[in-house]
Amino acid sequence: MVGSRTATAAVGVAASLLVTAVLWWYFDTVLVFLLVPFVPFLFRRLGADGPTVVQECPHCGFQATVASYDYCPRDGSRLEIRGDE
């Protein structure tokens, strides 16, 4: 059996090759291979929605910038919001 990560990677590679082949056929140039690596930059978010909140573990120094972390994954301590940000 193939693991789910391997299957996802295989589908991603196949889809990437398919998109590359379609773009190559549509634009009829090999330069598409130079443009395809820059496509992810078109879809990233420009700037953040607001200030980044940094939460830090008072014991081990673990830092999280995602609000879904309330506790340190290393020692289980409650994260504290840093005041210098």
Place of tokens 């340190």: 72
What's residue 22's pLDDT? 86
Confidence class for position 84, pLDDT limits 50, 70, 90: low
State the pTM of this model.
Answer: 0.39
Query: How many domains is the chain built from?
Result: 2
72: helix, coil or strand?
A: coil
Say if residue 68's pLDDT is above 50.
Answer: yes
Say if residue 5's pLDDT is above 70.
Answer: yes
Q: How crowded is residue 72: how many other Cβ atoms within 10 Å of its Cβ? A: 20
What is the residue range of 83's domain? 45-85
52 shares its domain with 67:
yes
51 shares its domain with 67:
yes
